Structure 1
Amino acid sequence: MRLIIVGPPGAGKGTQAARIAASFGIPAISTGDIFRANIKNETELGLKVKDILASGGYVTDEITNAIVRDRLREADTEPGFLLDGYPRTLAQVDALDGVLAEDGHVLDAVLELTVDEDAVVQRLLKRAELEGRSDDTEEVIRERQAIYRKETAPLTDIYAQRGLLVQVDGMGEVDEVAARIEGALRS
């Protein structure tokens, strides 16, 4: 199964992606995790994106597309994958379409977690405190929310027109949300 999970930052995509991946036996691929690992290891990519992420911005499409293309060509993605944090822009949708077409694949579904923005801001501030994420200040969180609304949320219209969009209420306990997702994807 080839899936994308979308929703604003803090909607619980990472938490739910791990569960979905385990349930379907596919890797969960998070561009955010890839970027953070590169920052931690001080790689060339990590140095490039550190300042961008710290200011609440997004890494360029060119860099992100190349990373995702390479990752989707790894052997563990042959039975499928779940993308978390990608695509975020129309250019990334087009790039993903191209990679899938080159490999003879199509998406099966795009899962959108819908959430209350103010509740998400509080969730992210708590996560920042617990995990020591210096990039998760309220100002940065709200900027990411605004960027999501402007650039990424409109992509759901594209996937809805293609008949791929599956919306699930992302508010509530982790297990409740997971059960809703499982039911929606299996139906």
Structure 2
Amino acid sequence: MNLILLGPPGAGKGTQAEILTKQFGIKTVSTGVMLRAAMREGTELGKLAKQYIDGGKLVPDSVVVGIVKERLSQDDLKDGFILDGFPRTIAQAEALDETGVRIDHVLSLECDEAVILERLTGRRECKACGTPYHIKTKPVPENGKCVCGGEIVQRPDDNEETIKNRLRVYHEQTEPIKEYYEAQGKVISVDSSKTAQITNDAVFKALGIDKKEA
């Protein structure tokens, strides 16, 4: 099964991708990881991408699409994949279609802004080891220190103003992409405002798959 995963920051994309990769035995691939791998391996497109990045410029769609196409054609993805972070524009979506890569479903995780704000503003992490905490779901120890003894802090970008701006940008960029795939009848929308398990159950139901068969 080949899936595209859409969803705003805090909607639980990473969590669902992790669960689905285990359940289906497929891999999640993201644009950032693909770009870094192509540059590390020194492919022609990777070298080209590095030139743009080193020059402080955005990597053109043509290069990004080429790298995505190269990655999706590799043997370890022949049984399926979850594509996260791509496409981000209509031009990229059209270019992906032109490559001939089959997309079975576009899974759109829908979550209320209030829930997202609560999730993200409540996040904390250990400055030393990176262990995640949350003021509601995984409270910081009473002494204010991580089990490793490190200081627990809030990430600078986990403030309400920054999150609201990220959500605005996401909706501006993603709504047209969602409409593009809706016209192809590929979008499956799932409420992700509940727990990860409830969301995962809803994903399977929306896909029409019996969890026992997965």
The TM-score bracket by the shorter chain reads 0.7 to 0.9
Name the structure 2 match of 1:91.
91
Name the CA shift for 1:19/1:96 in 2 (closer, same or farther; >3 Å): same
2:157 to 126, 136, 146: 136
Name the structure 2 match of 1:24.
24
Deviation string for 1:69-100 (max 9, x for gaps)? 2321221111111111211110110121122x
Task: Report the CA distance between 1:32 and its aligned residue.
Answer: 4.8
Name the CA shift for 1:143/1:77 in 2 (closer, same or farther; >3 Å): same
- Structure 1 runs not aligned, ≥5 long: 53-57
Name the structure 2 match of 1:69.
69
How many percent identity over aligned positions?
37
Is the partner of 1:154 in helix, strand or coil?
helix
Larger radius of gyration: 2
- TM-score, normalization: structure 2? 0.68
Name the structure 2 match of 1:162.
184
Relative contact order: is structure 1 or structure 2 higher (C-alpha 8 Å, sep ≥ 6)?
Answer: 1
Amino acid paired to 2:70: D
Is the aligned partner of 1:184 residue 2:206? yes
Contact in 2 for aligned 1:114/1:167 (Cα 8 Å)? yes
Q: Which runs of at least 4 in structure 1 moved beyond 6 Å after TM superposition?
A: 35-38
Two-structure CA RMSD over aligned residues (Å): 3.1
For residues 31 and 117 of structure 1, the distance between their equivalents in structure 2, rounded to whole angstroms, comes to 25
Is the aligned partner of 1:118 residue 2:123? no
- Structure 2 runs not aligned, ≥5 long: 39-45, 131-152, 210-214
Name the CA shift for 1:97/1:150 in 2 (closer, same or farther; >3 Å): same
Amino acid paired to 1:145: L
Is the partner of 1:153 in helix, strand or coil?
helix
Is the partner of 1:181 in helix, strand or coil?
helix
Amino acid paired to 1:77: L
Task: Report the CA distance between 1:177 and its aligned residue.
Answer: 0.5
